[in-house]
Amino acid sequence: MTKDAPSGVQGDGDAAYLDVPGLVMRVRRMRDLSQRELGALLGLDQSHVARIESSRRRVDLPLLVRILALAELRIAVLDLDDAEVVPVPHDVLRDNGGRRMPAHLDVRDPTDPPMSALLKPHTGRASPRGWYHHRPMRDRRRAAGEAHPALDHPTLSGLAQRDADRRNARLRHAQRRAPMLLDHDCTCSAACWAGAVCTDDCRCRCER
Protein backbone atom coordinates (compact mmCIF):
# COMPACT_ATOMS: atom_id res chain seq x y z
CA MET A 1 0.00 0.00 0.00
CA THR A 2 1.60 3.21 -1.11
CA LYS A 3 1.46 6.55 0.55
CA ASP A 4 -0.22 8.19 -2.43
CA ALA A 5 -2.65 5.37 -3.28
CA PRO A 6 -5.74 6.68 -5.10
CA SER A 7 -9.22 6.25 -3.71
CA GLY A 8 -11.18 3.14 -4.63
CA VAL A 9 -9.66 -0.05 -5.99
CA GLN A 10 -8.19 0.92 -9.33
CA GLY A 11 -6.11 -1.18 -11.66
CA ASP A 12 -3.09 0.10 -13.58
CA GLY A 13 -1.91 -2.88 -15.59
CA ASP A 14 -1.24 -5.50 -12.94
CA ALA A 15 -1.12 -2.94 -10.13
CA ALA A 16 -4.11 -2.37 -7.86
CA TYR A 17 -4.55 -0.10 -4.88
CA LEU A 18 -6.64 -0.70 -1.80
CA ASP A 19 -8.40 2.41 -0.56
CA VAL A 20 -7.40 2.09 3.09
CA PRO A 21 -8.51 5.62 4.08
CA GLY A 22 -11.95 4.94 2.60
CA LEU A 23 -12.21 1.65 4.48
CA VAL A 24 -11.26 3.31 7.76
CA MET A 25 -13.93 5.95 7.20
CA ARG A 26 -16.42 3.19 6.33
CA VAL A 27 -15.72 1.55 9.68
CA ARG A 28 -16.25 4.85 11.47
CA ARG A 29 -19.59 5.37 9.72
CA MET A 30 -20.74 1.83 10.48
CA ARG A 31 -19.76 2.12 14.14
CA ASP A 32 -20.65 5.82 14.57
CA LEU A 33 -17.15 6.66 15.76
CA SER A 34 -15.24 9.91 15.68
CA GLN A 35 -11.55 9.85 14.88
CA ARG A 36 -10.79 10.28 18.56
CA GLU A 37 -13.12 7.40 19.54
CA LEU A 38 -11.66 5.10 16.91
CA GLY A 39 -8.16 5.97 18.07
CA ALA A 40 -9.12 5.19 21.68
CA LEU A 41 -10.32 1.72 20.66
CA LEU A 42 -7.05 1.07 18.82
CA GLY A 43 -4.70 2.70 21.33
CA LEU A 44 -3.88 5.53 18.90
CA ASP A 45 -4.28 9.26 19.15
CA GLN A 46 -6.70 11.24 16.99
CA SER A 47 -3.92 12.73 14.86
CA HIS A 48 -2.74 9.23 13.91
CA VAL A 49 -6.23 8.34 12.63
CA ALA A 50 -6.43 11.65 10.77
CA ARG A 51 -3.14 10.95 9.00
CA ILE A 52 -4.40 7.49 7.98
CA GLU A 53 -7.56 8.96 6.50
CA SER A 54 -5.62 11.62 4.61
CA SER A 55 -3.17 9.03 3.17
CA ARG A 56 -0.30 10.58 5.09
CA ARG A 57 0.25 7.48 7.23
CA ARG A 58 0.72 3.94 6.01
CA VAL A 59 -1.29 1.18 7.64
CA ASP A 60 0.22 -2.27 8.05
CA LEU A 61 -1.97 -5.31 7.55
CA PRO A 62 -2.38 -6.26 11.25
CA LEU A 63 -3.65 -2.77 12.08
CA LEU A 64 -6.03 -2.78 9.11
CA VAL A 65 -7.40 -6.15 10.24
CA ARG A 66 -8.01 -4.73 13.73
CA ILE A 67 -9.79 -1.68 12.32
CA LEU A 68 -12.05 -3.74 10.06
CA ALA A 69 -12.85 -6.16 12.87
CA LEU A 70 -14.44 -3.31 14.83
CA ALA A 71 -17.23 -3.33 12.22
CA GLU A 72 -17.22 -7.14 11.91
CA LEU A 73 -15.46 -6.89 8.55
CA ARG A 74 -12.53 -8.96 7.33
CA ILE A 75 -10.07 -9.04 4.47
CA ALA A 76 -10.55 -11.78 1.87
CA VAL A 77 -8.66 -12.92 -1.23
CA LEU A 78 -10.90 -13.67 -4.21
CA ASP A 79 -10.21 -15.43 -7.47
CA LEU A 80 -11.45 -14.26 -10.88
CA ASP A 81 -14.85 -15.84 -10.19
CA ASP A 82 -15.15 -13.96 -6.88
CA ALA A 83 -14.75 -17.19 -4.89
CA GLU A 84 -12.77 -16.78 -1.70
CA VAL A 85 -9.28 -18.29 -1.64
CA VAL A 86 -8.37 -19.55 1.82
CA PRO A 87 -4.79 -19.90 3.10
CA VAL A 88 -3.10 -23.26 3.47
CA PRO A 89 -4.04 -24.59 6.94
CA HIS A 90 -1.52 -24.11 9.75
CA ASP A 91 -1.68 -27.73 10.91
CA VAL A 92 -0.67 -29.40 7.65
CA LEU A 93 1.55 -32.47 7.94
CA ARG A 94 5.18 -31.58 8.50
CA ASP A 95 8.37 -33.57 8.21
CA ASN A 96 10.21 -34.96 11.21
CA GLY A 97 12.12 -31.69 11.48
CA GLY A 98 8.90 -29.69 11.86
CA ARG A 99 9.16 -28.17 8.38
CA ARG A 100 6.20 -27.88 6.03
CA MET A 101 6.17 -30.12 2.98
CA PRO A 102 6.82 -28.39 -0.38
CA ALA A 103 3.64 -26.45 -1.17
CA HIS A 104 3.71 -27.22 -4.91
CA LEU A 105 3.85 -31.00 -4.40
CA ASP A 106 1.16 -33.45 -3.29
CA VAL A 107 1.55 -34.99 0.17
CA ARG A 108 0.50 -38.50 1.15
CA ASP A 109 -0.52 -39.10 4.74
CA PRO A 110 1.19 -41.74 6.97
CA THR A 111 -1.46 -44.39 6.17
CA ASP A 112 -0.78 -44.10 2.42
CA PRO A 113 2.93 -44.86 1.98
CA PRO A 114 4.36 -44.97 -1.56
CA MET A 115 5.77 -48.20 -2.94
CA SER A 116 9.31 -46.93 -2.42
CA ALA A 117 8.67 -46.65 1.32
CA LEU A 118 7.39 -50.23 1.44
CA LEU A 119 10.36 -51.56 -0.52
CA LYS A 120 12.92 -49.53 1.45
CA PRO A 121 11.54 -49.09 4.97
CA HIS A 122 13.15 -46.58 7.30
CA THR A 123 15.16 -48.49 9.87
CA GLY A 124 16.96 -47.02 12.84
CA ARG A 125 15.11 -43.70 12.63
CA ALA A 126 11.64 -42.29 13.14
CA SER A 127 9.07 -43.14 10.50
CA PRO A 128 8.20 -40.24 8.20
CA ARG A 129 5.07 -38.29 9.07
CA GLY A 130 4.14 -38.14 5.40
CA TRP A 131 5.53 -38.46 1.90
CA TYR A 132 5.59 -36.41 -1.26
CA HIS A 133 6.57 -37.11 -4.86
CA HIS A 134 8.71 -34.92 -7.04
CA ARG A 135 7.16 -33.35 -10.10
CA PRO A 136 7.43 -36.27 -12.60
CA MET A 137 5.74 -38.77 -10.27
CA ARG A 138 3.33 -36.12 -9.01
CA ASP A 139 2.22 -35.37 -12.57
CA ARG A 140 1.77 -39.07 -13.35
CA ARG A 141 -0.40 -39.54 -10.26
CA ARG A 142 -2.49 -36.50 -11.14
CA ALA A 143 -2.96 -37.75 -14.72
CA ALA A 144 -4.09 -41.10 -13.34
CA GLY A 145 -6.61 -39.40 -11.03
CA GLU A 146 -4.75 -40.44 -7.85
CA ALA A 147 -4.16 -36.83 -6.77
CA HIS A 148 -5.58 -33.42 -7.54
CA PRO A 149 -3.88 -29.99 -7.35
CA ALA A 150 -6.95 -28.43 -5.71
CA LEU A 151 -6.63 -30.68 -2.65
CA ASP A 152 -4.68 -29.32 0.30
CA HIS A 153 -2.00 -31.23 2.09
CA PRO A 154 -3.40 -33.50 4.84
CA THR A 155 -3.81 -31.78 8.20
CA LEU A 156 -3.32 -33.17 11.69
CA SER A 157 -6.85 -32.16 12.68
CA GLY A 158 -8.30 -33.72 9.52
CA LEU A 159 -6.49 -37.03 10.08
CA ALA A 160 -7.54 -37.07 13.74
CA GLN A 161 -11.17 -36.48 12.74
CA ARG A 162 -10.99 -39.20 10.10
CA ASP A 163 -9.62 -41.70 12.62
CA ALA A 164 -12.32 -40.72 15.13
CA ASP A 165 -15.03 -41.16 12.48
CA ARG A 166 -13.70 -44.60 11.61
CA ARG A 167 -13.60 -45.67 15.27
CA ASN A 168 -17.14 -44.44 15.81
CA ALA A 169 -18.34 -46.24 12.68
CA ARG A 170 -16.77 -49.51 13.87
CA LEU A 171 -18.34 -49.05 17.29
CA ARG A 172 -21.80 -48.43 15.84
CA HIS A 173 -21.40 -51.42 13.56
CA ALA A 174 -20.37 -53.65 16.47
CA GLN A 175 -23.35 -52.46 18.49
CA ARG A 176 -25.71 -53.29 15.62
CA ARG A 177 -24.22 -56.75 15.17
CA ALA A 178 -24.11 -57.67 18.85
CA PRO A 179 -27.74 -58.96 19.06
CA MET A 180 -27.29 -60.90 15.82
CA LEU A 181 -24.16 -62.66 17.08
CA LEU A 182 -26.05 -64.07 20.04
CA ASP A 183 -28.11 -66.24 17.66
CA HIS A 184 -25.51 -66.71 14.95
CA ASP A 185 -22.19 -68.52 14.95
CA CYS A 186 -20.22 -65.74 13.26
CA THR A 187 -17.03 -66.75 11.47
CA CYS A 188 -16.18 -63.34 10.05
CA SER A 189 -12.51 -62.47 9.68
CA ALA A 190 -10.81 -59.43 11.15
CA ALA A 191 -11.08 -57.74 7.75
CA CYS A 192 -14.88 -57.87 7.95
CA TRP A 193 -14.87 -56.17 11.33
CA ALA A 194 -12.38 -53.54 10.21
CA GLY A 195 -14.38 -52.73 7.09
CA ALA A 196 -17.79 -52.73 8.81
CA VAL A 197 -19.16 -55.12 6.13
CA CYS A 198 -18.35 -58.66 5.11
CA THR A 199 -15.59 -58.99 2.54
CA ASP A 200 -16.23 -60.63 -0.81
CA ASP A 201 -14.51 -63.86 0.25
CA CYS A 202 -16.26 -64.05 3.64
CA ARG A 203 -18.12 -67.37 4.10
CA CYS A 204 -20.21 -66.12 6.99
CA ARG A 205 -21.90 -63.25 5.13
CA CYS A 206 -23.85 -62.29 8.25
CA GLU A 207 -23.77 -58.65 7.22
CA ARG A 208 -24.71 -59.17 3.55
Backbone angles phi, psi at 144, to 5 degrees: -85, 0
Q: Is the pLDDT of residue 8 over 50?
A: no
Dump pLDDT digits (tens) for 128-138.
Answer: 888 888 999 99
Question: CATH fold of 11-84, please?
Answer: 434 Repressor (Amino-terminal Domain) (1.10.260)
Which pLDDT does position 12 carry in this prediction? 42
Check residues 171 and 51 and name the one with the higher pLDDT.
Answer: 51
Dump pLDDT digits (tens) for 174-205.
Answer: 777 776 655 556 677 777 776 667 777 777 76
Q: What span, in angstroms and rounded, lies between the C-alpha atoms of 23 and 28?
A: 9
Q: What is the mean pLDDT of residues 108-117?
A: 84
Q: Is the pLDDT of residue 66 over 90?
A: yes
Q: Is the pLDDT of residue 11 over 70?
A: no
Q: Give me the residue spans of the domains in the chain.
A: 11-84, 88-154, 156-195
Residues whose CB falls within 8 Å of the CB of residue 44, separated by 6 or more in sequence, listed in order? 38
Residues whose CB falls within 8 Å of the CB of residue 173, separated by 6 or more in sequence, listed in order? 193, 196
Global confidence as pTM: 0.56
